[in-house]
Structure 1
Amino acid sequence: TLHTTQTRAHTMVFSLPYVPANTSSWGPPKDEDINNPNNPMNKWANLPYAPYSRGDRISGRSADFTSTWKSNNDRNDGRRTRESSSGKNANEEFQYKVEKSEQASFQLVDTAKAPKRFVAPAKKRAQQQSRLRQLNARARGGNEQQKDTGRYNQPQRTRRRNNWGKGGNNRRNWHHRVDRQASVAVKADWVVVDEITFPILSKQRSEDLPSEEDLFSCGFLDQYNDAYERVTSKTAVPLKRFENKEFYPVTTTDDPVIENLAIEQSGNVFATDVILAHLMASPRSVIPWDIVVQKLPNGTLFFDKRDSSQFDFLTVSETANQPPLRSDDDPEGINSPERLSLEATTINQNFSQQILRQSKTPNNQSHRKNFDLPNPFYDEDDGAANGMEPASVAYKYRRFTLGDIKLVCRCELHGLVQKRGEEQTMTAFALNEWDSKLSGGINWRDKIDTQRGAVLATELKNNSCKLAKWTAQSILAGADQMKIGYVSRVTKSNAYEHVILATQFYKPKEFAQQTTLSVNNMWGIVKMLVEFFGGKDEGKYVIMRDPNKPILRIFSVPPSTFEEDDNDEEDEE
């Protein structure tokens, strides 16, 4: 009895599993007992299942927060990519998923320590530097084709340090960067009409050059003094001051002759040679400037300048790598941009008169040629009372016809010269040396006699825009010769005394070719601007060069703009 009781205590109850009966065929029946709790289909109905083959590698975890990091590492490591590419994202159903609201507030904190940077021992670094010096020495000792490779064999940090010590381009551009101010303040009621980049201006071309026609000639011209052809650095001539000569930088709308020509409808575009030459050479400009354009109801255009602008003052080292800068210690110093501009303008005016023959008596005018009309800006009563006389300048009013464009321009000539028994007209301009060390040029007194081409090449680099404007003015005036003088200070610290070191004649069109100044591009720029304003409404516009970007901005301004400044000047007078 005891044995039977113990056997029953250890006996386990065994129940048969659910086996559906199929009376029609082998296997489980199609219609199973869904309500039966032992039905395995009900037990595993909501269990996710991802099928895979034996060759697939199961990757991923129930809560895998590093799957993105692992996938990035897999892309960087080709070996691990090949091993895990077959099983990647194969079992996404098993990965932990959270709602977007919870995901936004979740942050992963990485407590792993960053690996320490490996630094080679001092002895090892010395060996590497010695090895680099040997490689560079071998490169320098090779042929000319292998000389430049020594610099590239250096480490990047070494090259950067060497460039800094030698005044590399990056350091130079950073140190001499100039943030200039606009030539005129833009007001709130000005509206930007268009923007034109300098590359677009440089690509303009006029297939046909305009036809030229002389309308009027005013003033007089004196003969050129041939003695200045023999001037050298050893026989330098002091530059004189002509304080009794008057120059008239009159703008377009203030010219009485242009006013009469506009009334007679002799053209549909009016300008001066200085304004047109500035537009033609505008892609080379660096210093900001502005030009006023007025369009009348009949479509006539007037290109003007503001009376209070610095438009008539010459620039100095405008396109140089190291242009003159204003010093905070001495803002009014002789080498400040404003003082240099005034000095260059005065030199240019005095030089244009000194190289001409001067009569010893006022009545002797055998060397002078008078044109049909007198100087339109000279007042004989005021001039005689003050002992002033007009400078030797002839104003030629010329009409250029380019298709439907009839442009009337006032041009200037400065003298007459005899070339091979023929009388030719000339223009005269002066380049000035102020400080060769500060301007980045060469000493003129050492090179002007033997290497004048090198001096001119340096000036073409430092004053590209100014020389292009002079060339354009000479071409517009139809001058046969362009005289360029080389004027230098007596001493670097004296901005009031100068000497003429040399002079040189150039033919304007040939000089334009030598300085890569395209006449077709010059007229292409003018044609583009005239056609642009021809499609606009009547009113007043301003063409402004951006002070720090190579862009021309065109503004539409109220008709009364700049008239207040003119009224203030009249009240002061």
Structure 2
Amino acid sequence: MVAPRFKLPHVSHNDQGWGPASDESIQQFKDIPYAPYSKGDKLGRVADWYDPEGTQNMGRDHRGRHQRRQDPYQAYGAGTSTVFVHHQEEDEASFSLVDSRAQAMKKTAARSQQPGQGGRGGRGGAGRGGFQRLGTQRGSHRGGRGGHGAGGFRRRPGWRDYDRPQRIRFATINVGEEWKLLEDIEFHRLAKLSYSVEQPTDVALCGQVNVYAKSYDRVNLRSEQPLRRSEYIYYDVTASEDPIMERLARQDKARVFATDSVITMLMCTTRTVYPWDLVINRVGNKLYLDKRNGGPLDFVTVNENAYDQPIESNDKENINSPSMLAVEATRVNREFQMQAVDTQQRVNMPEGNPFHEADVKEPPASAAYRYRLFDLTTYRVVKEGVDSDDDVEIEAADTSCPMIIRTQLDAALSSGEDPHKLSYVSLHALNQFDVRAPGNGGALDWRKKLDSSRGAVVATETKNNSCKLARWALQGLISGADQVKFGYVVRQMPGDNKRHTVIGTQSYKPQDLAKQANVNLKNSWGIIKAVVDLCLKLPEGKYVMVRDPNKAHLQIYSVPLDTFEGDDDEDQTENPVDEK
């Protein structure tokens, strides 16, 4: 038997360059053409069987239905002229296909200011459709071929958005040289957390609230109400400066103290896009989760979660930049909260307003402060019963961790059957700026569509302001509010951010609003539990938690005790919104 032998194939050797020598022919590749390669070509699909007709116009600037982007796919080597062109040798002019498709009727319409890829209404037309396709760039709308339009919803970004310019954002505070990074937490780790809390108990109730004016439930486009400037004083004091919390801390009622604004921001961390920061104070065995005066938590964002957020500008006269829109939205919220109540009917809480001093002439805004105790202690089962629940024994798996949150209620609502039975309302305002300005999020014009297309308006706001609406829903749940009421506010003139008009209102139960905003309550409390446990392990001192401006990360820094000490007064005077 002859053993098999392996014969090494011939390998061409070229000392003068790469590949086989030019004078040496390779028989098996003799008749195969070579397609030249250009680095300027965009590499896409090898073949597009979905769009056979579109390949006839490849490289041309056509706006047909088959165009998927402003930058169409290029054939391999299309950027370089090639001699390998197939020439038809046989005459096939007599061969044709019958087009059995129905021909759309041509319509005419005004051209949209924002070019899209197909306005509703036919070939070459332009129009305003009810929805945008879930995709492509701004201005891609449902409709006929070659049209332009404006609509409502876009698709979420995918692999086709590889060339979309990335916006560089700046942190809300500058990291000092003496700051030491302790923790760097990625958002995807927070999304997996889960924790359940029991019903809270009230430990204090302070302030005064006005009764909600039910006439605002009947406001619509035909009976709009101009928004008036408010002369009331609004208080948003951080936890470590709250006199009620100082009293409760001395009484050892809790270990953790925070406001609903800080807690809901932490709960919605994974939804945030804009940067923000918190101050963590460890004093003895107590933990205070604070905000900075004049910091990002004092303002209401606009279209933070939109596909194209408002563009930041160095031009101070640009009223549609994110910072100017936040100032405008904060002022609109406060003015609506006082305009939507009856200033002649006021309900006093057991304790007065803890922040309003007697020598201040201006009256305080309508607000009741409810201090609620939540138990964040982790328990474990040490003995499980067999026949009845009485045999179940549990014990604390860690140190007791009660937390007091100061929540806010904006108005009281009397019942028609029993005027003495009151329910509490949380008031907020959704404001729309110029619908033609960049960053409008593809929203419908409220002045035209609010009454007839309320559902589409709500869906668009839920998409563009996911973080803001989730925070409002969580604030309603934490405070125990019976209703959350929204006011729809628009500018009287698109270029004037000082004068506004209320054109409608809408009411939700906090549970329904949380469901509408797709809020996972267990995950929200899981984030709070994880952050509190992490902060309680820190030694005494001051720390800063920063939301990274360009990455989905939370960072905790150890900072000197005198950090921010001299900035409070400066931030207070520079705050464009009147605040005490």
TM-score scaled to structure 1, two decimals? 0.70
Query: Counterparts of 1:122 and 1:542 in 2: how far apart (Å)?
Result: 67
Structure 1 distance, partners of 2:369, 2:137, is 53
Cα distance change, pair 476–173 in 1 and its aligned pair in 2 (3 A): farther
Question: How far apart, CA to CA, are the structure 2 residues paired with 1:430 and 1:296?
Answer: 37
Corresponding position of 1:296: 283
The one-letter code sitting in structure 2 at the alignment partner of 1:377 is F
**1-side partners of 2:425 and 2:167: how far apart?**
37
Q: Is the 8 A contact 2:293 2:571 kept in 1?
A: no
Structure 2 equivalent of residue 443 of structure 1: 445
1:409 aligns with 2:405: yes
RMSD after superposition: 3.6
- Alignment deviations for residues 364-385 of structure 1 (CA, whole Å, 9 cap, x no partner): xxx211011111111121x23x
Secondary structure, counterpart of 1:253 in structure 2: helix
* Residue aligning to 1:218: 206
Q: 1:451 to 1:65 in 2, by over 3 A?
A: same
1:89-131 CA-to-partner distances (Å, cap 9, x unmatched) read xxxxxxxxxxxxxxxxxxxxxxxxxxx973355987xx99xx9
Matches of 1:559 and 1:462, distance apart in 2 = 38
Residue-pair matches, total: 441
1:292–1:543: 8 Å Cα contact kept in structure 2? yes
Contact 2:369 2:409 in 1 (8 A): yes
What secondary structure does 1:563 align onto? coil
Does residue 375 in structure 1 map to residue 353 in structure 2?
yes
CA deviation after TM superposition for structure 1 residue 278, in Å: 0.8
- Following superposition, the deviation at residue 247 of structure 1 comes to 0.2
The residue aligned with 1:418 is 414
Any conservation in 1 of the 2:293–2:572 contact (CA below 8 Å)?
no
For residues 44-443 of structure 1, what are the structure 2 equivalents within 5 Å? 56-57=6-7, 118-120=82-84, 174=163, 177-206=166-195, 208-243=196-231, 245-298=232-285, 300-327=286-313, 330-359=315-344, 367-381=345-359, 383-384=360-361, 388-403=362-377, 404-419=400-415, 421=417, 422-438=421-437, 439=440, 440-443=442-445
Query: Corresponding residue for 2:565?
Result: 563
Whether contact under 8 Å (1:60, 1:67) holds in the other structure is no
Q: State whether residues 273 and 410 of structure 1, in contact with CA within 8 Å, keep that contact through their aligned partners in structure 2.
A: yes
The 1:61/1:508 distance shift into structure 2, 3 A limit, reads closer
Aligned partner letter, 1:371: M
- Contact 1:246 1:390 (8 Å CA) reproduced: yes
Q: Amino acid of the residue matched to residue 317 of structure 1? A: N
| Shift, 1:560, TM fit | 2.3
Cα distance in 2, alignment partners of residues 311 and 222 from structure 1: 25
| Secondary structure of 1:211's aligned partner | coil
Work out the CA distance in 1 between the residues paired with 2:290 and 2:84.
Answer: 69
Q: Hey, what's the Cα distance between the residues in 1 that align with 2:413 and 2:541?
A: 44
The alignment partner of 1:399 has SS state of strand
Higher helix share: 1
Structure (1 or 2) with the larger CA radius of gyration = 1
The residue that corresponds to 1:156 in the other structure is none
Report how far residue 251 of structure 1 moved.
0.8
- Where structure 1 has 5 or more consecutive residues not aligned to the other structure, the ranges are 1-51, 71-76, 80-115, 142-161, 360-366
Q: Which amino acid aligns with 1:200?
A: R
CA contact (8 A) 1:257 1:376 kept: yes
Structure 2 gaps, min length 5: 21-26, 30-79, 104-134, 141-154, 378-399, 575-579
Aligned twin of 2:115: none
Quote the Cα distance in structure 2 between the aligned partners of 1:246 and 1:423: 24
- Larger relative contact order, structure 1 or 2 (CA cutoff 8 Å, min sep 6): 1
Contact 1:251 1:305 in 2 (8 A): yes
Indicate how the Cα distance of structure 1 residues 58 and 450 shifts in structure 2: closer, same or farther if over 3 A, else same.
closer
Q: Once the 2 structures are TM-superposed, how far is the Cα of residue 488 of structure 1 from its aligned partner?
A: 0.5
Counterpart Cα distance in 2 of 1:119 and 1:378: 84
Percent identity over the alignment is 36
